[in-house]
DNA sequence: TACTATACTTGAATTTCGTTCATATAGGAT
DNA sequence: ATCCTATATGAACGAAATTCAAGTATAGTA
């Protein structure tokens, strides 16, 4: 009667608040979910949520299904992982590298959770690679690299984790804070603060400033996100960062954020891995855990299609 | 990945011990289960049970799936019942009557379980109806009658509960106990003990003795199953009873049992209910509970198709 | 008041997936 | 051997879930 698919859908509906986003989460169309829920409702012969309410509101039957989902889905997940361990061996190596420091925010909880479930997998994490991590990945010194610009390379594949918006962080008193969104021209008189990496690996340049042929007045670098935000808050410059890395500062009313252009610039974050580890059970589970953890902890992110 | 369907199948496989019977339990063909399991196995990429072993033997992965099933399926069941209560109202009336006293064996636990879940439903049970219960059911004095011979009647429908074999119980020292099965002719010199009901409502007569035009030497009646067994054990007669009513006496080595004819005589037990209560949520749940309880407590019974 | 955007619903078309049917294979018993 | 029972397999079918293409509804905006 009730199927796991229904539980996943309802949970996604609660987590996202809308059919459109829920559909994206479960990799279906919004129409499919509409049919699916309608079908379930008439099989249970009662409605599950009140339509046309902004903060989506579940009926008591809907809530009952949700508590069921919260009980059952983790159990299924755990069993699948246990079986994966039984089937695919418990050990492996997972040396990771990240290019962007803000990734710690979701990577740390991910690693913690993963280590609990795969105690035998040897893990290591190196950040701020002075050298380019991709060749090291290909050579087998690294096993996974978090990156937002996939570069075609033999033996390497990219597993999408999630998509996010790149937003401008600026002082609340900054004149540009009065605009609803930032245009390329707005940068000509600004100091842009960014991570110390090659500029053609930064979306602000490749997808925003370069196409408009605009150059900021000055570019300066900072290694750590916190440092950047100090500079920004004190009006020493502006920066383009993942929206999820900024929410905590916005919540504390420390800085203001604005989208790049009217529609905003969206990127997706990938895990680069070697083809030969692609089907390893521990690797598959790491990726799933990373996605789960991110969706749980980060706001404003979306599913990334392959 | 794993679906509820898989959990149900695996649990049925464990409970019945063979694909053929498991298939019957979940109302599918044996072929379907074979495909289904094979499919799951390659998706999990590990086998779930060792084939060609008499007492079916699960791998550790298979056992993991089974523990998952044992955790999850009852939760689903409970949630569905909760929602049924929310949707269909919590109250109702359920006056029951049974014709055969041995039914207490599965009916009592069923009633106990049901009462826990539907405290608001008013229940009553009358046994040994002196009058015919079916008209009382039609009139609305009764709501459910347990019977093994459905008689077409307006406004009444029959919900199959389970099928069982009618077997001959006889003293272990009885000469007929040496035979592997009993033929109609074997009755000509025997005393047959049966419940005090019309003889054309008893399968021994309608489906076994009458077609062969055989009459037992003597027919005597007893109200209670225990009484019958005392008579049988002391060699005062033989009787034809549901196999599940006899297992406890066989286990205690109190009597012997033999099938009627080589293939055995199978009957199915029905719940007769009024059409107007057929779709009541509490009624549906009662029937499901009865089936579940029977399969759990009774041995040698099988699913009954409508 | 009309316009535009957003969110959901609906029916029909379509694809996918599970099931059945018919048949093959393998053990175990006689 | 052979029969019998249990499981496996491939092809064909059918039902069910999903997508596609429109349609309705509501809120925000000019």
- Tens of pLDDT, residue by residue, chain A (306 residues): 899 999 999 999 999 989 999 999 999 999 999 999 999 999 998 999 988 777 788 999 999 999 999 999 999 999 999 999 998 888 899 999 987 778 888 999 999 999 999 999 999 988 765 567 888 899 988 999 999 888 889 999 999 999 999 999 999 888 888 887 888 888 999 999 998 888 888 889 988 899 889 999 999 998 888 899 999 999 899 999 999 999 889 888 899 998 888 778 889 999 999 999 998 999 999 999 999 999 999 988 988 865
Confidence band, pLDDT 50/70/90 cuts, at residue B128: low
Residue/partner pairs of B71-77 with CB below 8 Å, 24 or more apart: B71/A75, B72/A72, B72/A75, B72/A76, B72/B4, B72/B7, B73/B4, B73/B7, B73/B8, B73/B11, B75/A68, B75/A71, B75/A72, B76/A1, B76/A2, B76/A68, B76/A72, B76/B4
Facing B61 at nearest CB: one of A2, A67, A86: A86
Distance from CA of B56 to the nearest CA of A (A): 20
For position A168, what pLDDT does the model report? 92
Strand D bases contacted by the protein (CB, 7 Å): 6-11, 17-22, 25-26
Q: Which CATH superfamily is domain B91-161+268-297 in?
A: Periplasmic binding protein-like II (3.40.190.10)
More confident residue, A132 or B226: B226
Overall residue count recorded for chain B in this entry: 306
Dihedral of the CA atoms A97, A100, A103, A107 (nearest 10)? 0
Alpha-helix runs per DSSP H in B198-267:
203, 210-212, 225-233, 243-251
For position B126, what pLDDT does the model report? 83
Fold match between A4-85 and A91-161+268-297?
no
B155-201, pLDDT tens digit by residue? 999 999 999 999 999 998 888 888 878 888 888 889 999 988 888 88
Domain spans of chain B?
4-85, 91-161+268-297, 163-266
Could you tell me which residues come within 8 angstroms of residue A237 by beta carbon, excluding any fewer than 6 positions away? Answer: A190, A191, A192, A193, A218, A220, A231
Residue A113 backbone phi and psi in degrees, to 5: -60, -45
Selection from A115, A114, A168, A107 nearest residue A297 by Cα: A107
Distance in angstroms (rounded) separating the CA atoms of residues B119 and B75? 19
Which residue from B minimizes the CA distance to A75?
Answer: B68
For position B130, what pLDDT does the model report? 59
Q: From the C1' of D5, which residue's alpha carbon is nearest?
A: B20
Of the options 1.10.10.10, 3.90.1200.10, 2.30.30.100, 1.10.10.60, the CATH number for the domain spanning A4-85: 1.10.10.10
Q: Does pLDDT of B262 surpass 90?
A: no
For position A128, what pLDDT does the model report? 60
Facing B75 at nearest CB: one of A68, A84, A88: A68
Q: From the C1' of C21, which residue's alpha carbon is nearest?
A: B31
When the pLDDT of each residue in chain B is averaged and rounded to a whole number, the result is 90
CB atoms A1 and B80 under 8 Å = yes
The answer as to CATH 3.60.15.10 being correct for domain B163-266 is no
Q: Which residues of A touch B44 (CB under 8 A)?
A: 80, 83-84, 87
B210-225, pLDDT tens digit by residue? 888 999 999 999 888 8
Q: How far apart are the first and last CA of chain A?
A: 32
CB pairs under 8 A between A and B: 69
Using the CB atom, is residue B151 less than 7 Å from strand D? no
For position B181, what pLDDT does the model report? 84
Residue B130 backbone phi and psi in degrees, to 5: -70, -40
Selection from B166, B228, B99 nearest residue B219 by Cα: B228
Strand C bases contacted by the protein (CB, 7 Å): 7-12, 18-23, 26-28
Distance in angstroms (rounded) separating the CA atoms of residues A12 and A251? 24
For position A181, what pLDDT does the model report? 84
For position B197, what pLDDT does the model report? 82
Contact B220, B193 (CB under 8 A): yes
How far does the CA of A19 sit from the C1' of C9, in Å? 12
CB atoms B76 and A45 under 8 Å = no
Selection from A187, A170, A150 nearest residue A254 by Cα: A170
Distance in angstroms (rounded) separating the CA atoms of residues A238 and A286? 34
Contact A96, A125 (CB under 8 A): yes
Nucleotide nearest to B56 (CA to C1'): D6
B60-118, pLDDT tens digit by residue? 999 999 999 999 999 999 999 999 999 888 899 999 998 777 888 899 999 999 999 99
Strand partners, B79: none
Q: Which residues touch strand C (CB under 7 A)?
A: A 18-20, 30-31, 34-35, 37-38, 51-52, 56; B 3, 5, 27-29, 31-32, 35-36, 39, 52
For position A195, what pLDDT does the model report? 87
Contact A272, A137 (CB under 8 A): yes
- Helix, coil or strand: residue B257: strand
């Amino acid at each position: 009667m009730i199927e796991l698919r229904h539980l996943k859908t309802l949970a996604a509906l609660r987590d996202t608040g809308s059919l459109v986003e829920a559909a994206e989460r479960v990799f279906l169309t919004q129409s499919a979910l509409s049919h699916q829920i309608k079908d379930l409702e008439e099989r249970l012969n009662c409605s599950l949520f009140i339509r046309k309410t902004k903060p989506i509101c579940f009926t008591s039957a809907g809530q009952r299904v949700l508590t069921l989902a919260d009980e059952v889905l983790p159990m299924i997940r755990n069993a699948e992982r246990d079986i994966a361990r039984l089937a695919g061996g418990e050990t492996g190596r997972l040396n990771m590298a990240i290019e962007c420091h803000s990734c710690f925010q979701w990577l740390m909880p991910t690693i913690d959770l993963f280590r609990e479930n795969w105690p035998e997998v040897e893990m290591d994490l190196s950040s701020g690679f002075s050298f380019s991590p991709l060749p090291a990945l290909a050579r087998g010194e690294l096993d996974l690299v978090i990156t937002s610009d996939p570069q075609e390379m033999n033996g390497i594949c990219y597993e999408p984790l999630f998509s996010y918006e790149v937003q401008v962080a600026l002082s609340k008193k900054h004149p540009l804070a009065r605009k609803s969104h930032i245009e390329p021209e707005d940068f000509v008189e600004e100091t842009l603060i960014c991570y110390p990496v090659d500029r053609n690996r930064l979306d602000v340049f490749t997808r925003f400033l370069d196409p408009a042929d605009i150059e900021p007045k000055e570019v300066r670098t900072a290694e750590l996100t916190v440092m950047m935000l100090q500079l920004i808050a004190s009006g020493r410059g502006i920066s383009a960062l993942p929206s999820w890395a900024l929410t905590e500062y916005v919540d504390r009313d420390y800085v203001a954020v604005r989208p790049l252009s009217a529609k905003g610039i969206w990127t997706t974050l990938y895990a680069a891995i070697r083809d030969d580890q692609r089907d390893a059970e521990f690797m598959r589970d790491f990726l799933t855990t990373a996605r789960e953890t991110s969706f749980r902890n980060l706001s404003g992110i979306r599913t990334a299609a392959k």
